[in-house]
Structures are given as structure tokens and as C-alpha cells.
Chains A and B, each alone.
Chain A
Amino acid sequence: MEYVVEMKNITMDFPGIRANDDVSLSVKKGEIFALVGENGAGKSTLMNILYGILTPTTGEVIIKGKKVTAFNPKNTIAAGVGMVHQHFMLVPSFTVAQNIVMSREPRKWGLFCDDRGAVEAVRSLSEEYGLHVNPEDVVREISVGLQQRVEILKTLYRGADVLILDEPTAVLTPQETDELFAILRRVVKEKGMTVIIITHKLYEVMAISDRVAVMRQGKLVHLEETKNVTERSLAAMMVGRDVVQVQQQEKAAPGEEKIRVRDLQVQDNRGLPAVRGLSLSVRAGEVVGIAAIEGNGQSELLEAITGMRTYTGGSIHVNGTDVSGMTPGQIRDLGLSHVPEDRLSTGVSPDADITDNLLVGKHRQAEFTKFGFHQNRKAIEGYASRLFEKFDIRASGMDARVGSLSGGNMQKVVIAREFSFPSDVLVISQPTRGVDIGANEFIHSRILEKRNEGAAVLLCSADLDEVFRLSDRIVTIYEGKITGEFEAGTITKAELGYYMTGDRKAGGAIEA
């Protein structure tokens, strides 16, 4: 039997979007198969179908010669396919052994968990595969790299010989990545396992895979032996050779410096350096777009500028004022508006109604209060309904909970609020993530409108098309540093993708 996994003509429709469009691919026994593509290209959807979490709209999946009839992870695991998700599914307070044997614990008298038996089982398993862990360590206290090992061991314990890894290196340090790759090579070679790895880091594809499939906008655009491709050619396939849409706008006439970042150092939530000595300027009347793959410090950079995160070194000036130690509110008072990356957790109060969400920030203005403390509901409701109309927010009414709105309408609430301040500095992150086409165009024209009015706009988006369409200047960030800076129209997307992966020379993959 040559193929362990065959996926035939898979199409997956979600409301309003086709995530997979007639995708067919087959994976050979004993190979490392890489699946690459931009965010939203449909890689994870495809693998979730293979793993049985999703049922495809049409198409069929054949695992080891047997056609899958009921899509269910339980059946998939029984068929010997295991998946390690990007976000680990471990119980932090349990030991390594307890996590691995969970749901299939060795029993004592058929009733009690046999903890010692679990430790022994895990120990012999980890020796067999060369995945060294201490079964008695508590998961909370071990490194992310080790946690990933625990996840892999969990699938092995359940008898998997086909392993799906979703962005396994996104959370790893380079050393941990090297170790992971060494392990993968060993299990494939010595144990005859098959590995499918989802990634968007091209040098990793070159370093580890035997074959590579490229996805773009839900379609499989290329399937090739890795030795026949280069990082550069993969990048071109990933983003497509489409002609970059010309900006419908006159040339920018940048004015004074509005955002000034110098030698900035910022740490991420784990206390590891995320932004490492980054300098950047945004001038009045221009849009500066940040092109970077997720997790390269761009989120931390924007949070530092807007005051949502403290920084450990360097300086940030907004409208000429050093913002060190300022709260987000104080920075807003300097004339900054912010569309945050995660609208649900940061950009809105989901339990409050549309009116209350639109008002924040202006609620203390004289026109909305009486005697300085009493809320003037009439004026507030009038103001909110004007914004509601102007930004074309679609909802059952002004008193609808914002949490009940669709992603696009929720984003319009954020945009409506943030764009109605008289601010001349805008920090915008993922303005159209999960937003439908119509709202997308609307939001883009609002951003350009602000720029034409002379605002300085710092834009960050995972959608390269968006960065291209809106930006006057594009900077690429990789691992917390700027790797390139380009005037609009002087670079193609393919070249850009290449700077986003760390300015590596074509074909010069990292040896693990």
C-alpha cells in the first residue's frame, strides 16, 4: 500500500466562505509531507478534516485504504492518525505521564488509575522513540518544547503512526526547532512513521520535508518533491503571481513625524524578547504597512506604542511626546486612535450594547453630559445612531449586544468609534480579519480617507494584499527586527514574503 492517506476532491464550505476548494492530495507511507500557505489558505481546515474534526461538504478521505464514513477524531485515532494542535491540549496541573495516558489509563483492579504503571509505560515509550521526558514532571513546569514532546508522545501512546503537526515551530526557539526536526527524522526513518507538517516558514519546508504541497485561497496550487523547489519559488506560489493592485490614490506627501520608535525592546507574555531593537517612523499623511508572519513581534510593537504593554528598552514618541509609563488613555489624549488586533477581547465590550460601545472615550464630553456627571442619553443615542448610519452597521437595533454581531459588523463598531476621534495618529491592526468583502472595501476606503486628511497610519495585517493596497511604505519584520523597508510599488509580494522569513538566501535552508 503506497499511500497512507488519500484525500480526494475535498471541498469545505463555511457560511460565506469556501475554505477548501476541490483539494486532492495523497501522502506516502514513511515520508515527511509539508503543507504550506498563507494564513487563511485552508491548511488547518484540510487537516482538521483529515483528523475528523470537520466533515467536508464534498469529497472523500481514505486512510490506509479504508474510506472514512463518519468523521470523528475517535475513529481517526483508532485508524492510527494523531494530530498535535498549535495550541496544546494538556492539563497543566497533571504530570507528563498523567497527560499522556489520559483516557487510556492503565488500571489497577479494573477500577483505579495505576499511576506507577502510567509512569513506566511513558518511560518505555519515550525511550523507544528517543523523545526524552521525565514522566513525573508537572506539565505546567516544563518548557514549551517539552510540552510539545508530551503532545507527540500522547499521539504515539494512542498508537498513531501518522502524525499531523499544525505549525509545530510557531512556539519553539530555534534550538527546540532543531531538536524537533531531529526527532521527526528519526521516527520516520526508524519507526516507519509518516509525518504531515503544516507551516508557513519556508526554510523549514526545505530543511525537513520530502514533498511539499502549496495552498492558496483554499486551492491546492502545487504539489512537488521538495528537492525540486526553492524558498523563492515556494514564496511565489504561496502568494501567487498576481499583479499587485495599484493603489487608487495620489502619491503620499509625508509631513512631520508622528510616531517615532527607537531601539525598542518589548517582551511577550512569557517574558521572552519579542521586539528586539526596532526603530520606525510614521509621518503625517502616510500609511506605513507592517508585513510580518504572526508571532514575530509586530503585535507587541503595536501594544507598546498604544500603551497596552510596557516596554523594557528604547523609546517611543507619539506626536512628539515620550509615552514611557503612560496609560493607554493618556496616549489617546495625545491624539492616537487604535484598532486592536483582537476586537472581541480588546476592541469592544461584548456584553454592552452598540450605543455604549460607540460612546466610550467621548462619554465625558460636555455634549453628552449634564452637570458634568449625569448622562445625557438623548444626545448619546442621537450621536450613536448617526455613527450607526454612517458606518452602515447592520444589527437588530442600537440596543443589540455587540457580542451578538457578526465579525464584520463588530469591526465596524470599532472602526466607527476609533475613526470619529479627531486623532491624527492611527494604529491599526488586522482591520479586516474575518470581515466580508463589502465591509472590507468600506474599511479600506475609511483608512485611506484618514490618510488623505493628513493622519499618520501604522497598519499591521496578516493579509499581504491589504498591506499592498493601503501602504505608502512597507516594512518587513522578522523575529522582532526590521528586515526590509520599501516604497510602495518597488517590490513584489513574492520578494516581500522572502524578507518576512528572515532575509534568507534562496535555498539556504537552516540545517537542523
Chain B
Amino acid sequence: MKRKFDWSYALSLGLAVTLALFLGGVIMALTGHDPIAAYRELLRGATGCSSLGEFLTSAFTKRQFGNTIEYAMVLFLTGLACALGARVGIFNVGGEGQLYLGAIVSAYIGVLLKDTAPILAVLAAALGAVAIGGFYAWIPGVLKVKLKVNEVITTIMMNTIAIYLCSWLSNGPWKTTVPNRVSGTDPLNPDFTFDKLIRGSNLTTAIFASIVIAFLVWYVMSKTTVGYEMKLVGQNSRFARFAGLSADRLTILAMTVSGMMCGLVGMFEVYGLKGNYQDGISNEYYFDGLLVAMIMRYKPVGIIGMSFAFAFLKVGAQGMELNAGVPGELYRIIQAIIIFFMAAQNGMTGIVKKWFAKKGGAVRG
């Protein structure tokens, strides 16, 4: 199978991003801001650099750039988790809940094992996060396969359950005993938290683990026998069953691994960023990742690339808000416009083609 690059898709994606940025600029101008200055601040906000030269020489020392990479990491991990399910035809919308559970379980394990060797404690926490996330995704997977319960509905419902369960745990039984703290679990032993790669930024050693995971997901999806089977199940599950593949088993497996990845992202948030579990630890991170996955049609490499673009926009928007006074919500608007254009991609391609055809006809005529 030759890997074919979908030029028309890449073109419409580029067009959508350009149009979205342009419309964002129009909105800024209409609300009395200077779009060019604002976008300059966006670039600076995302990289910490004011010029290309500065970016090339010292980007990896900038706090802002570290934050961009860290957020991209969250996006591609969650996006790939979503893509894994989608590949076999099951849509995991429950990543948010799986992420929350992974966060609180890993935080609690860290608290329980606070006197053990850091390597053991961190490994135990990672395993706990993976196990709970996987289990929490396994449930809707089994329900879908055995009882034909729609996974979109179950996973959305289970998100709410998980988030409120975590809220209750962190405000109740697992609430910190440290004075002056109103909620959240006990802070972790400082030896357990991941080392920062750029001082002051969110970027930690978790990125290395994430790169390995992303590579593995890409490899399994596109190079292995199991990935091939997953693809066939996702394309036509009746055919897959007819051809002797165990579609049910693969569906549950993909869903479980998807949940494991989400659980691990929760653990990364606790051990990399916050140092304990607290409410709102994931600001709908999974849904951002899911959007990225959908826009890139669940293609692993595309998801990784687009994650960086969205992270760039989001982190940059903070700089824009701070230094140019443009509300950070503009990032949401631009993101929404891109999604809107991508959703209309097929129709737009058709219109463009027709337009060209007509023009060509007129020239000939």
C-alpha cells in the first residue's frame, strides 16, 4: 500500500486555517483592535520570541514555547486515543472522565506511597492511572459489543459520573489534611513530580514518554497486523466478521487502550503540572484532542501536526490577551471557524470544482 498524500485535503485545510485567521482579524478590527499587532502578540505568546532568529536560537529556553509543546502533547495524546477507537468504529467521547479518574487515582497512589522510592511510586501511579482509565473505557466498549448500547451516549454520561465522583473524593474522603487548603488531594512528595525541561514552563519529562507512546500508536495503527485488522473492522465490521476477524474483541481492545491513554494523560497533569489532584484539572482537554482527531480524519501523523497548531493558537492567545488586550476567547472563535470550514470541506471542494469547470467551459466556448 503506497502512502498517498491527500493534497486536496491539505489544501482545503490550509485554506480553512488562513480564512479562519483572516476572519479572526476582521473580528478584531471590528471590535477595535489592531489585528496585526494582535497576531504579533499571538506569535510571541506562543513562542516567547519576537523574531525568527530568536526563535531558531533560543526557543527551547522560552517558558511560553514550553507551554505550547506541553499543550500539544496533551492534544496529540488525547487525539490519538480518540483515533484508536475511531479506527475500529467506536467513538470514545468519554476521554474526559477517563482522564479525571486517571488523575485522581494516580494522585491518591502518590499520597499513599509517599515514603517509597520515587521510581516505584511513579510507576505505580502510572499503572494505576492506566488501569482505571482502561477499565472505565472497557465498560462502554463491552456494552456496545454485547448489548449494542450506543457508546457516545454511555461515554458522555460516564464523563459526568467520573467528574463528580472525583470532585466528591477530592472534597471528601481523599481531601487534603494540609491546613489552609480547601480542596484537592494532598500534595505529592516533591521527589515524585516530573522535572521541568524549561524553567517556569509546563514542559516536563513527560514529553519523552508521550513521544514514545505517539510513535507506538502510529506504528501499531499503520504497520502491524493488528492495525490492519482494526482498520478492516472500522471500515466494514460485517465483512471483518465474515472474514474471520474477531471484530468484538478488537473493538473492546481499542476502546480499552484509548481509555488507558486518557488515564495516563490525567497522571501527567498531576505529576507534571499541578502536584496534586484538584477539581478542573482537565479543562476539557479531551474534547480539544477529539476535535483535532476529527479534523485530521483520525490520521496519526496529521493529529500530531495539528495538535501543535492548535496548541500554538491557544497558548498564543493568552499572550495576545495579556499584551494586546484581545480577549483569549478569540482562540475559540478561530478554532470554531476552522472546524466549520473543515466540516464543509466536501461541499466547498464541490463548489470550487464546479466553479472552475464553468470557467473552463466559458473559456473554451
Does A489 interact with chain B (Cβ within 8 Å)? no
A375-B4 Cα distance, complex, nearest whole Å: 18
Q: Is the CB of A352 within 8 A of B2?
A: no
Does B1 interact with chain A (Cβ within 8 Å)? yes
Does A451 interact with chain B (Cβ within 8 Å)? no
Show 7 A/B contacts (Cβ-Cβ < 8 Å), sorted by A.
A327-B241, A345-B239, A349-B235, A352-B231, A355-B1, A369-B225, A399-B1
Instruction: Tell me which residues across on chain A come within 8 A of B240, comparing CB atoms.
Output: 349
Q: Is the interface of B mostly helix, strand, loop or mixed?
A: helix
A308 touches which of B223, B229, B241 (Cβ 8 Å): B241
Q: Is the CB of A353 within 8 A of B235?
A: no
Q: Is the CB of A360 within 8 A of B224?
A: no
Question: In whole Å, how far is A221's beta carbon from the nearest beta carbon of chain B?
Answer: 39
State whether A351 and B225 are in contact (beta carbons under 8 Å apart), knowing that A327-B241, A360-B245, A361-B243 are contacts in the complex.
no
Q: Across chains A and B, which 3 residue pairs bring their CB atoms closest together, nearest first?
A: A329-B244, A360-B243, A349-B236
State whether A374 and B223 are in contact (beta carbons under 8 Å apart), knowing that A351-B236, A352-B232, A356-B1 are contacts in the complex.
yes
- Across the two chains, which residue of chain A brings its CB closest to B2? A399
Size band of the A side of the interface?
A: 20 to 34
Q: Is the interface of A mostly helix, strand, loop or mixed?
A: mixed
State which residues 355-383 of A face B: CB under 8 Å.
355-356, 359-361, 363-364, 369, 372-375, 377, 381
Q: Is the CB of A328 within 8 A of B244?
A: yes
A329 touches which of B2, B223, B228, B246 (Cβ 8 Å): B246
Question: In whole Å, how far is A124's beta carbon from the nearest beta carbon of chain B?
Answer: 42
Instruction: Tell me which residues across on chain B come within 8 A of A364, comparing CB atoms.
Output: 225
Does A350 interact with chain B (Cβ within 8 Å)? yes
A373-B216 Cα distance, complex, nearest whole Å: 13
A375-B225 Cα distance, complex, nearest whole Å: 6
Does A332 interact with chain B (Cβ within 8 Å)? yes
Number of A-B contacts (CB under 8 A): 77
Interface centre among B4, B239, B240, B245, by most A CB within 10 Å? Answer: B239
Q: Is the CB of B246 within 8 A of A352?
A: no
Q: Is the CB of B228 within 8 A of A356?
A: yes
Does B5 interact with chain A (Cβ within 8 Å)? no
B242 touches which of A347, A359, A372, A374 (Cβ 8 Å): A347
Q: Is the CB of B235 within 8 A of A375?
A: no
Q: Is the CB of A375 within 8 A of B228?
A: yes
Does B238 interact with chain A (Cβ within 8 Å)? yes
Q: Is the CB of A351 within 8 A of B246?
A: no
Does A346 interact with chain B (Cβ within 8 Å)? yes
Question: In whole Å, how far is A358's beta carbon from the nearest beta carbon of chain B?
Answer: 11
Q: Is the CB of B244 within 8 A of A356?
A: no
Other than the given A374-B225, A375-B227, 6 more pairs (CB < 8 A) read A328-B244, A338-B242, A345-B238, A350-B235, A361-B243, A363-B229
A377-B228 Cα distance, complex, nearest whole Å: 11
A350-B243 Cα distance, complex, nearest whole Å: 14
Instruction: Tell me which residues across on chain A come within 8 A of B232, comparing CB atoms.
Output: 349, 352, 356, 360
Does A30 interact with chain B (Cβ within 8 Å)? no
Does B226 interact with chain A (Cβ within 8 Å)? yes
A351 touches which of B224, B226, B235, B241 (Cβ 8 Å): B235
State which residues 206-255 of B face A: CB under 8 Å.
223-229, 231-232, 235-236, 238-246
Q: Is the CB of A346 within 8 A of B242?
A: yes
Q: Is the CB of A346 within 8 A of B239?
A: yes
A377-B226 Cα distance, complex, nearest whole Å: 14
Instruction: Tell me which residues across on chain A come within 8 A of B241, comparing CB atoms.
Output: 308, 327-329
B228 touches which of A328, A363, A399 (Cβ 8 Å): A363
B223 touches which of A361, A372, A375, A381 (Cβ 8 Å): A375
Instruction: Tell me which residues across on chain B come within 8 A of A356, comparing CB atoms.
Output: 1, 228, 231-232
Q: Is the CB of B225 within 8 A of A373?
A: yes
Question: In whole Å, how far is A120's beta carbon from the nearest beta carbon of chain B?
Answer: 39
Q: Is the CB of B239 within 8 A of A347?
A: yes
Q: Is the CB of A373 within 8 A of B242?
A: no
Does A285 interact with chain B (Cβ within 8 Å)? no
Q: Is the CB of A377 within 8 A of B1?
A: yes
Instruction: Tell me which residues across on chain A come within 8 A of B243, comparing CB atoms.
Output: 328-329, 360-361
